[in-house]
Structure 1
């Protein structure tokens, strides 16, 4: 059900909900809204999952197995295999044999993959610029350490 235009946004929970629930609900809502908006401005044919894999490999400066990527993104291995296959078909990643164990194949970002990630970042530029006019840079910088700390805490408590 769409929110009535002009009505005030509702809070993240119900009166009396524990603070933890309010925080986690707000994060979940933001993640859903941001993800949908994010994907709407990515270059044609690139999904949020594909951009995420490219960004992950570059951010960590690593090559990972499909299993490691599936674990990092908390998806099933067949789901990650499909994402990697689509990236490979586009020439954005390559599967390379592990030098220590030839049976293991690692996902490596290609030059085209780096360029695609950069194109995605550039496509997101106007969106980020607009958001920066709505939420001052000072406020965003102030909440970033807390968000990072929450991410680390949640990452350490992933279910097996």
Structure 2
């Protein structure tokens, strides 16, 4: 296990700040957990992105719009559109025109996705319990609150730099 010796490490370089080191660790965690998660999902024929769409659609009652999904994922609308088109071709979702609003598309789950959902949830529970199971409950809640604040700060900063709409998880 790597121990962080913040004060000693800072003396070795003049460009590594606390925020830079934190960002490095966050990206390392995302890579490690993301690779493990992707590996497990491949066993049931899913990618992380496809799983995210299926999971969100279940959370949203089985149906949503591409726009709402792009807001929830913090993706550009064209990125979510391309993903949804691939998922429709592969039989994971169904896209239909909204009868009330002709220019709106509705996205819903297919039976294939509904059958995969419990398997995906099982993978999540096993993997994340294995990875984070030893973190005390209070520490985990505090960490989650800190990460949520960091996400919110990042969104505000990104909105200033790229004209993104600040995101609030509904």
Determine if the TM-score, normalized by the shorter chain, exceeds 0.5: yes
SS of corresponding position for 2:103: coil
Does residue 102 (structure 1) correspond to residue 114 (structure 2)? The answer is no
Give how far 1:92 is off: 2.5
1:20 is aligned to 19
Matching of residues 105-116 of structure 1 within 5 Å: 105-116=105-116
Count residues with an aligned counterpart.
151
1:3 is aligned to none
2:57 is aligned to 57
Q: Encode CA deviations 1:88-130: one digit per residue, 9 max, x unaligned.
A: 2343311121244213323223454344233211123322232
Q: Where do 5+ consecutive residues of structure 2 fail to align?
A: 164-170
1:4 is aligned to none
Change (3 A) 1:27 1:99: farther
1:36 is aligned to 35
1:86 is aligned to 86
Give how far 1:73 is off: 4.3
Give how far 1:153 is off: 2.6
Q: Where do 5+ consecutive residues of structure 1 fail to align?
A: 1-6
Q: CA RMSD in A?
A: 3.0
SS of corresponding position for 1:44: coil
CA contact (8 A) 1:92 1:113 kept: yes
